[in-house]
Structure 1
Amino acid sequence: MHPDVSADLNELDTTLTTVEKVLDVEELRRRIDELEHQASDPELWNDQEHAQQVTSQLSHTQAELRRVEELRSRLDDMAVLYELAEEEGPDAVADAHAERAQLRTDIEAMEVKTMLSGEYDQRDALVNIRAGAGGVDAADWAEMLMRMYIRWAEKRGYGVEVYDTSYAEEAGIKSATFAVKAPYSYGTLSIEMGTHRLVRISPFDNQGRRQTSFAEVEVLPVVETTDHIDIDENDVRVDVYRSSGPGGQSVNTTDSAVRLTHVPTGIVVTCQNEKSQLQNKVSAMRVLQAKLLERKRQEERAEMDALKGDGGSSWGNQMRSYVLHPYQMVKDLRTEYEVNNPSAVLDGEIDGFIEAGIRWRMSENQA
């Protein structure tokens, strides 16, 4: 085997060994045994929500163990693969190089996952997208971003639940709120928070001029009972109204949409995607709790930053540019990571940006 190949395989082995230690493979096996024991209890399904949590955690933990075991098995096979390839000729050696490159990509992706150790990183994510400056183009852009994240989630088999979509008059959306239901989706998607900028020839401009539009992406962790975000009923004003879809069509003929206003903070949350008023109120309450938890976290962070004499991170600033004209490029302004295929990115291929972002965030936190 060529010394360069041998050195590369040793480096991959070191990285994978670190990943195995951080994930604690033995602990994963113990956790799977414990969850399988819980899942086999016939009493479990008396509490539907708890049962779903157990089965979801079980499938996630099994998948995690399977992924790390598969990586170890592939790495162990590489030396043999090269021996056979060298006997077979140049084409087989080229195939072995390709498998080694793919294995590096897969191990590095797993390594990034181990960097998600924040207090809320393992939670489901609540994503809120709002059209910014740019009129009808911005509303269309907000809808394109929503599709991008939903496609990203679907490709991974993650559940998505849309709580609210506020359609713009001509095209696109004013805002939308949806949950991505998978362990670590908050830690993963939180790197997407900030202002996303689109430059393109406007399909809504009859003179075909170039237009720049903006949309804001907010990512919050879904609240759990341990967070103790208690909301006094007297602090919440509840308004009900009729849901409406694109073009003002009535989605249903009853006042099932719900708007909650948290009077002390002025936070307003709407939910209109469920059929019943009660379901909408429960979903809206979940979003309100997440917003209040984030507010509490920001206040704590501001206190810490004040103690450190630090201005805090500029999360709200422009963080990614998507250019469709005069050239094609998507570039992250924090990590410098860029791709020359915007259509693939807008179809949910954002893992490269997420991985670069998580590594960037970790280096910023250590600085």
Structure 2
Amino acid sequence: MKNIKILGGIFNYKNNKANLIIMKNNLKKIYLSKQSKNFKEIKKEYKILKEIINNIENIKKKIKYVKELFQLSIDTKDNSILNDINIYIKNINIKINNLKIKTMFCKKYDKYNCYIDFQSGSGGIEAQDWTSILLKMYLRWIEKKRFKSKIINKLNGEKAGIKSVTLHVIGKYAFGWLRTESGVHRLVRKSPFNTGNKRHTSFSSIFVYPETKNKINIEINQNDLRIDVYKSSGSGGQHVNKTESAVRITHISTGIVVQCQNNRSQHKNKNTAMKQIKKKLYNLEIKKNNIKKQKIENKKSDIRWSNQIRSYIFDNSRVKDLRTGIEIRNVQYVLNGNLDKFIKASLNMKL
């Protein structure tokens, strides 16, 4: 039952409960002030936090029930109740472990599938061979996680190994699991490609990014619109000028303004203006997506060869993560896809 102690630890139940109340009040204020952009963001955070709090409270109830059962077994001297207690404890531990995963994967794209770009660095054939070894290591990890994978493109080395390759990883929280693996992986070993069998250092970079959905759904909150009607101007006869048929629609959060006075019918003008608003919001989302793509490319170029995250030293068989300080003294064990110790440590450190 040692897992139960963490309910007040990494889950920070009291603080999160207080934050939930604050967020709920903020949602009410934002909704009333019609600031839809902030409303959507905070609502997402609120839902995630509320789910975590509800799960914790559910676990606490189960723990209370187990304590009552235990007391009952003492009072009645009925040892058969202990079997039921063990089943409940196993169930509670499963729920706590599931909750730990949810708290680790609470970022925007964590639930998504992802891509891993592998790029060999300095070290020639040795670096290309190292890239192929890293690819096999992650394929083994993917298999252990029961995820699926597909090689999208691959550029083989001239004599051995791989110059570059992109791997598509499909599975629940694939990006969440792998996002902290981006960086430079350093290999130190006696090279089989060196006739003098000298100690050689080579590098390979890895970049992990989410598979985002390209489909753009434009949902317009009516509270985020200000609709003004007025008398149309220009040609159109007496009737057009006397009737408030012209429509101006303002999308408050973006500041986009569209007006239409082409028809005598206010209803038709409103429909036309709404279509224009949707088109403009769609174009705005396209621009945002392009900026996101550019940011991904910029991040990729920011992975310098000095930005090492992990060293694999073959001579004395050890792998050391330079960010968390975690070290495993068995290189082959790690290369067989046993990466969870490194990954969980980096996720817990919020890297």
- Report the TM range for the smaller structure's normalisation: 0.5 to 0.7
Quote how far apart the aligned CAs of 1:109 are: 7.7
Quote how far apart the aligned CAs of 1:333 are: 0.6
Give the Cα separation in 1 of the matches to 2:303 and 2:103: 23
Give the Cα separation in 2 of the matches to 1:313 and 1:361: 19
- What SS does the corresponding residue of 2:104 show, helix, strand or coil? coil
Going from structure 1 to structure 2, the CA distance change for 1:108 and 1:201 (only over 3 Å counts) comes to: farther
1:172 to 150, 157, 161: 161
1:131 to 107, 113, 120: 120
Tell whether 2:147 aligns with 1:153: no
User: Which position in structure 1 is the counterpart of 2:313?
Assistant: 323
Tell whether 2:192 aligns with 1:203: yes
User: Which position in structure 1 is the counterpart of 2:332?
Assistant: 343
Deviation sequence 1:273-317 (CA, Å, 0-9, x none):
xxxxxxxxxxxxxxxxx9974423677x9xxxxxxxxxx998971
Deviation sequence 1:139-192 (CA, Å, 0-9, x none):
000001111111111111101011111110111000100110012111211100
Aligned partners of 1:112 and 1:358 also within 8 Å: no
1:216 to 195, 202, 205: 205
CA RMSD of aligned residues (A): 4.4
User: Which position in structure 2 is the counterpart of 1:111?
Assistant: 100
User: Which position in structure 2 is the counterpart of 1:120?
Assistant: 109
Aligned partners of 2:183 and 2:303 also within 8 Å: no
Aligned partners of 2:184 and 2:304 also within 8 Å: no
Percent identical residues: 32
- What SS does the corresponding residue of 1:361 show, helix, strand or coil? coil
Give the Cα separation in 1 of the matches to 2:117 and 2:104: 24
Going from structure 1 to structure 2, the CA distance change for 1:157 and 1:340 (only over 3 Å counts) comes to: same
**Structure 2 matches for 1:251-330, cutoff 5 A?**
293-296=292-295, 317-325=307-315, 327-330=316-319
Quote how far apart the aligned CAs of 1:18 are: 7.0
The aligned amino acid for 2:182 is M
Aligned partners of 1:15 and 1:107 also within 8 Å: no
Q: TM-score w.r.t. structure 1 length?
A: 0.50
Going from structure 1 to structure 2, the CA distance change for 1:130 and 1:109 (only over 3 Å counts) comes to: farther
- What SS does the corresponding residue of 1:122 show, helix, strand or coil? coil
Q: Which runs of 5+ in 1 are unaligned?
A: 23-67, 85-95, 229-289, 302-311, 363-367
**Structure 2 matches for 1:24-63, cutoff 5 A?**
none
Give the Cα separation in 1 of the matches to 2:187 and 2:66: 43
Tell whether 2:5 aligns with 1:11: yes
Give the Cα separation in 1 of the matches to 2:313 and 2:125: 18
Out of 217-226 and 150-159, give the one that drifted further. 217-226
User: Which position in structure 2 is the counterpart of 1:184?
Assistant: 173
Give the Cα separation in 1 of the matches to 2:118 and 2:108: 23
Q: Which runs of 4 or more aligned residues in structure 1 lie more than 4 Å from their structure 2 counterparts after TM superposition?
A: 12-19, 75-81, 106-110, 312-316
Q: Which runs of 5+ in 2 are unaligned?
A: 17-54, 74-85, 218-288
The aligned amino acid for 2:325 is E
Quote how far apart the aligned CAs of 1:78 are: 9.7
Aligned partners of 1:142 and 1:174 also within 8 Å: yes
Q: How many residues align?
A: 223
Quote how far apart the aligned CAs of 1:223 are: 2.4
Aligned partners of 1:130 and 1:216 also within 8 Å: yes
Going from structure 1 to structure 2, the CA distance change for 1:332 and 1:291 (only over 3 Å counts) comes to: farther
User: Which position in structure 1 is the counterpart of 2:236?
Assistant: none
Give the Cα separation in 1 of the matches to 2:101 and 2:147: 19
Deviation sequence 1:79-100 (CA, Å, 0-9, x none):
999xx9xxxxxxxxxxx9xx99
Give the Cα separation in 2 of the matches to 1:188 and 1:16: 18
